[in-house]
Amino acid sequence: MAGSSPKQDVFDVQEIRRLVELMQEYDLNEVDLRQGETRIQLRRGRPGAAIGIEGSPNLLAPASTSAPPNVSQPAAPAPQTTAEADHAVLIRSPMVGTFYASPDPDSPPYVKVGDHVGPETTVCIVEAMKVFNQIPAEVSGKIVAVLVENGEPVEFGQPVFKVDTRE
């Protein structure tokens, strides 16, 4: 990728983050890099994904990951069970901005893994240009994954939470 040093370890977290940002910037769905015996393959979203809340049977992103793309190596997440996948939906960011898990730095997060939410439950804030948008869940269920780190940028349509609608 442009700007990356061949002497760097491709599994360096900062390097992966940079790759993710480049994928978002240039709207790339997949990057496959090899360096000697090592290889990194990044996939982002899935073809034809709709903006908003949708079912996510193919989502493999682990909880508390800092980036939306799936990182298949070296930290491959545990695959979901079929039953869970069938009932999982994603809450996506409705705008570009910065993700905040809590109303202010001194407060606990709006929601955490295991919490039950309803359609009107505020799950996070997405801030852009000092406009703090309280984002409602718009779905009922249990939070099973928080997909973005507090204070990290998010893109339009990027998944921020995964919700199991069976509970």
- List interacting residues with other proteins (CB under 8 A): 3, 14, 17, 21, 66, 94-98, 104-106, 120, 122, 127-136, 149, 151-153, 156
The Cα-based distances of 6 to 3, 9, 26, 81 in angstroms read 9, 8, 21, 38
Whole-number minimum distance, CB 81 to other proteins, in Å?
32
Name the residue nearer to other proteins (CB basis): 27 or 106. 106
Name the residue nearer to other proteins (CB basis): 96 or 113. 96
Name the residue nearer to other proteins (CB basis): 80 or 125. 125
Name the residue nearer to other proteins (CB basis): 63 or 128. 128
Name the residue nearer to other proteins (CB basis): 121 or 165. 121
Whole-number minimum distance, CB 77 to other proteins, in Å?
21
Whole-number minimum distance, CB 68 to other proteins, in Å?
13
Closest CA to 92 of 133, 129, 32: 133
Whole-number minimum distance, CB 58 to other proteins, in Å?
25
Whole-number minimum distance, CB 48 to other proteins, in Å?
20
